[in-house]
Amino acid sequence: MIQLIDSHCHIDGPEYDEDRNEVIARARDSGVTRMLNVGTGDPRSGVFERAVELAEKHDHIYCAIGVYPHDAKLFDDDADQRLIDLAKQSTRVVAWGEIGLDYHYDHSPREIQRDVFRWQLRIARELNLPVVVHSREADSDTISILRDELNDYDRGGVMHCFGGSLEMARSAIDLGLFISFAGNLTFKKGDDLRDVARQLPLDRLLIETDCAYLTPVPFRGRRNEPARVVETAKCLANLHSKDPDEVARITSENFMTLFRPRVALH
Ligand SMILES: [Zn+2]
């Protein structure tokens, strides 16, 4: 059976409160050997503690914590300290994120987004954690901040749910980052993105669901879940004229190279 990794999901949220264990079991049954759950939301609401708790409960689930661009205006010394403490206390925290810039929604003022992004990149560096980067309609600012802050940083990170240009992807790879594709790679209107994915080297790529959003074809219109990551693997395999198994294997190796999870699976 195919074995693959969902490198970015959000299964700690209320969308899964009714059936989280079934979702996790279905992922296992579909060959998802590991997943990275990303804690996002108001830093004061316990979302980061919740993400760590879920990862502590399951050998094969790791977590990333960090303040999402929408919530940048809520970032303060208290959030900063609690995040650092959690990252230091739990070996389940394997990355800092998702952090970055979102100029599509502008839920936080852009200047604050940029400051908080820079600050968190510096914390990640201090903690020696790779970063999970979210960039929407902000590619040139994202890259220029990453160039400033991640210069010569050997832990790198990932541009998650990539939706940018080939040039953007190549700039990120030059900085030591991986590029991760989500279910939107399979969308009918995804020709431009598929064109980008086709031209990138597989040894710099990851796959993800970013669930509960971005349900891939042919499951559009339903809630997404980690088991569906196989659809993105198949699409990527098709673009590179490879077997889905091979893409699954390569992207899994890339995941392990990037996040270096410290606990072996039982
Ligand atoms: Zn996400």
Distance (angstroms) between ligand 1 centre and the Cα of 208 equals: 9
pLDDT on residue 265 = 67
Distance (angstroms) between ligand 1 centre and the Cα of 97 equals: 9
Q: Render the burial of 5-32: b for 16+ CB within 10 Å, e for the rest.
A: bbbbbbbbbebbeeeeeebbeebeebbb
pLDDT on residue 195 = 98
Distance (angstroms) between ligand 1 centre and the Cα of 121 equals: 17
pLDDT on residue 262 = 74
Nearest to 179 by CA among 198, 200, 150, 194: 200
Distance (angstroms) between ligand 1 centre and the Cα of 53 equals: 18
Distance (angstroms) between ligand 1 centre and the Cα of 122 equals: 20
Record the pTM. 0.96
Q: In this predicted model, what pLDDT tens digit does every residue of 247-263 receive, in sequence order?
A: 999 999 999 999 999 75
Distance (angstroms) between ligand 1 centre and the Cα of 100 equals: 11
Q: In this predicted model, what pLDDT tens digit does every residue of 12-64 receive, in sequence order?
A: 999 999 999 999 999 999 999 999 999 999 999 999 999 999 999 999 999 99
Distance (angstroms) between ligand 1 centre and the Cα of 200 equals: 22
Distance (angstroms) between ligand 1 centre and the Cα of 1 equals: 27
Ordered per-residue pLDDT tens for the chain, 266 residues: 899 999 999 999 999 999 999 999 999 999 999 999 999 999 999 999 999 999 999 999 999 999 999 999 999 999 999 999 999 999 999 999 999 999 999 999 999 999 999 999 999 999 999 999 999 999 999 999 999 999 999 999 999 999 999 999 999 999 999 999 999 999 999 999 999 999 999 999 999 999 998 999 999 989 999 999 999 999 999 999 999 999 999 999 999 999 999 756 65
